[in-house]
Amino acid sequence: MKSIILKSFLVFGLVFVVMACTAPKKEINYPKTDLAVEALIPKPLKVVATNSAFGLDVKTVIYTNQTSKGFEEVGKFLSNRINQKTKLDIPVNSSLDETVERIIYINQSDDLESDSPEAYQLYIKNDSILLHAKTVAGAFRGIQTIQQLIPEHSNDTLTEQPMWLIPTGKINDAPNFGYRGMMLDVARHFFTVDEVKKLLDVLAYYKYNTLHMHLTDDQGWRIEIKSWPKLTEVGGETEVGGGPGGFYTQEQFKELVAYAAERHIQIIPEVDMPGHTNAASFSYPILNGNGKKLSSYSGTQVGFSTFDAQKDTVYAFLDDVIREISAISPSPYFHIGGDESHVTKKKDYLHFVEKVEKIVQKHGKQAMGWNEIAQAKIDPSTVAQLWNEPHNAIKAAEGGSKILLSPAKKTYLDMQYDSLSKFGLHWAAYIPVDSAYIWSPEKYVPEIPKESILGIEAPLWSETISNSTELEYLAFPRAIGYAELGWSIDENRNWEDYKARLAKQVPYLKRMNISFYPSKLVDWEN
């Protein structure tokens, strides 16, 4: 408690000193604002408007807590984004000299209402923006809010310099769910490192914290495994429709992990098994368990392949694969797939899941798998990802597992918007932008209590898409709505209100060169 008081004293003291050192201030006649109606997505927990403005301009600096590791990087990230949007060059932790008139102070503080590590508080006044967060991740979420509050256009009439006016007030914010993810299938079609980075940038802006990468499937194996090189030499060369495929070297995967980590996003690797394994078995036929002659596969049918669950070699192979990937993957989770293993005998499937779960644990990770894995005796630390069968997910929750919600009818980003959609499938549903948003993760399966829900994830399967433009058509704008479903509480969510805020994302999406689908349900503002 003492240290909190001391810290708050230091913060306010610092701001006071900065303000006192600055030249005598001319009164600025700020226009009336309303922080409560800003187009923030996801919608913050609590907003109180004080109806004036903070003027971001050349006389603004960013100052960060320099004793807590990582805060300065968050300050630099914000400075960089301000530069992209306004061309202002805002110094971070420079000497606070007499030219400084306004400060954005990013501070570590344990004194927040929420227990969440991603919680933050913003106090926006005329001369200062104070961002308080317990952790660097919280500070990073907080600077997304600051970024979103900066208007597209400056006001050039208040002072001799242009000012970007940020509404004053207080924001108290924390996520409803600790896990807010998107999944990208890079196996059906390969996506390059740069394409994945572009996606990560937008996910970070909307406060996602997870990208699950579906790295292997019948049509391709996308990650280098040094002890089994043919996986990528042979299995990496195919994709749906006969294209060239591709794969990430371990160095490239590390580069993606690091890029995501700078944005406080974890990358969860998935090796899908025992089904969806044609590419692996075609590379190393000793793994094959379906007894048929193998060939490479570039179609889109599912459920015809399986590893041989009775062979020791298969588990030795998986020990190598899981060890090598775990070594370059800091996320606590390793996803073992487990879906649609239609040609694996039931008893083999159960045996396989239980064995592989233990291998994952041996390498220091928690297992995650599609809802089918709950047919096996899974450990309570293992996460079941609900996609099609609530009864399996309910069973997993009863056993103490956490459930990740990805119901296909609601969250599958590869489902078409309607029958005219250029890409996508519709086996689960057509999912227009409103239907994607209008549901409650907490109430979706009444038998699964909120305490059992880890969070939500929107999967983007890539049978019908092969580049960023096509990816963006399916992912956006729906992924923006899922960001809000994961972060904002039900009471704060409302389609009409969300729709108006979504409409205002156009300048950002354009600046990021995102080819979103301009659904007619939204009155897009340019």
Mapping DSSP to helix (H, G, I), strand (E, B) and coil, where does residue 368 land? strand
**Which one, 272 or 324, has the nearer CB to ligand TNX?**
272
HEC sequence for 164-211 = EEEEEEEEEECCCCCEEEEEEECCCCCCCHHHHHHHHHHHHHCCCCEE
Give me the residue label for tokens 């700020």.
30
Neighbouring CB atoms inside 10 A of 443's CB total 10
**Which one, 189 or 501, has the nearer CB to ligand TNX?**
189
**Which one, 173 or 339, has the nearer CB to ligand TNX?**
339
**Which one, 47 or 223, has the nearer CB to ligand TNX?**
223
Which among 43, 149, 33, 46 is positioned nearest to 499, based on CA atoms? Answer: 43
- Which 119-158 residues touch ligand TNX, going by CB under 6 A? none
**Which one, 107 or 344, has the nearer CB to ligand TNX?**
344
Name the minimum Å distance from CB 340 to ligand TNX: 5
Q: Is 262 a catalytic residue?
A: no
With CB under 6 A as the contact rule, the residue among 112, 328, 425, 503 that binds ligand TNX is 425
With CB under 6 A as the contact rule, the residue among 105, 221, 297, 387 that binds ligand TNX is 387
Strands (E), 197-300: 210-214, 216-217, 220-221, 266-273
Name the minimum Å distance from CB 341 to ligand TNX: 11
Q: Each residue of 313-331: b (16+ CB within 10 Å) or e?
A: ebbebbeebbebbbebbeb
The residue type found at 478 is R
Name the minimum Å distance from CB 300 to ligand TNX: 8
Let me know: does 211 contact 181? Beta carbons within 8 Å.
Answer: yes
With CB under 6 A as the contact rule, the residue among 63, 208, 228, 370 that binds ligand TNX is 370
Contact between 340 and ligand TNX per CB under 6 A: yes
The terminus-to-terminus CA distance of the chain in angstroms comes to 48
**Which one, 139 or 404, has the nearer CB to ligand TNX?**
404
For residue 93, is it left (φ>0), alpha (ψ between -120 and 50) or beta? left
Number of helices followed by number of strands (H, E) in the chain: 16, 16
Contact between 412 and ligand TNX per CB under 6 A: yes
Distance CA 454, CA 456 (A): 7
Question: Total number of residues binding ligand TNX (CB under 6 A)?
Answer: 10
**Which one, 259 or 304, has the nearer CB to ligand TNX?**
304
**Which one, 38 or 339, has the nearer CB to ligand TNX?**
339
Let me know: does 277 contact 221? Beta carbons within 8 Å.
Answer: no
Distance CA 352, CA 476 (A): 37
Name the minimum Å distance from CB 398 to ligand TNX: 21
Catalytic residue among 224, 239, 340, 484: 340
Name the minimum Å distance from CB 197 to ligand TNX: 23
- Which 247-286 residues touch ligand TNX, going by CB under 6 A? none
Contact between 349 and ligand TNX per CB under 6 A: no
- Which 73-112 residues touch ligand TNX, going by CB under 6 A? none
Contact between 14 and ligand TNX per CB under 6 A: no
Name the minimum Å distance from CB 470 to ligand TNX: 15
Name the minimum Å distance from CB 416 to ligand TNX: 11
54-to-266, 329, 418 alpha-carbon distances in Å: 33, 41, 43
With CB under 6 A as the contact rule, the residue among 282, 317, 461, 473 that binds ligand TNX is 461
Distance CA 216, CA 210 (A): 18
**Which one, 108 or 371, has the nearer CB to ligand TNX?**
371
Name the minimum Å distance from CB 339 to ligand TNX: 3
Contact between 423 and ligand TNX per CB under 6 A: no
Which among 193, 86, 68 is positioned nearest to 150, based on CA atoms? Answer: 86
- Which 300-319 residues touch ligand TNX, going by CB under 6 A? 302
Name the minimum Å distance from CB 440 to ligand TNX: 22
Burial class (CB in 10 A: 0-12, 13-18, 19+), 519: middle
Name the minimum Å distance from CB 414 to ligand TNX: 5
Contact between 190 and ligand TNX per CB under 6 A: no
Let me know: does 60 contact 126? Beta carbons within 8 Å.
Answer: no
510-to-132, 155, 233, 368, 478 alpha-carbon distances in Å: 30, 22, 38, 35, 16
**Which one, 43 or 214, has the nearer CB to ligand TNX?**
214
407: preceding bond cis by omega (within 30 degrees): no
Contact between 339 and ligand TNX per CB under 6 A: yes
HEC sequence for 310-325 = CCHHHHHHHHHHHHHH
Side-chain half-sphere CA neighbours of 12 within 13 A: 6
With CB under 6 A as the contact rule, the residue among 72, 308, 414, 484 that binds ligand TNX is 414
Sites of contact with ligand TNX (CB under 6 A)? 302, 339-340, 370, 387, 412, 414, 425, 461, 463
Would you name the residues annotated as active-site residues? 340
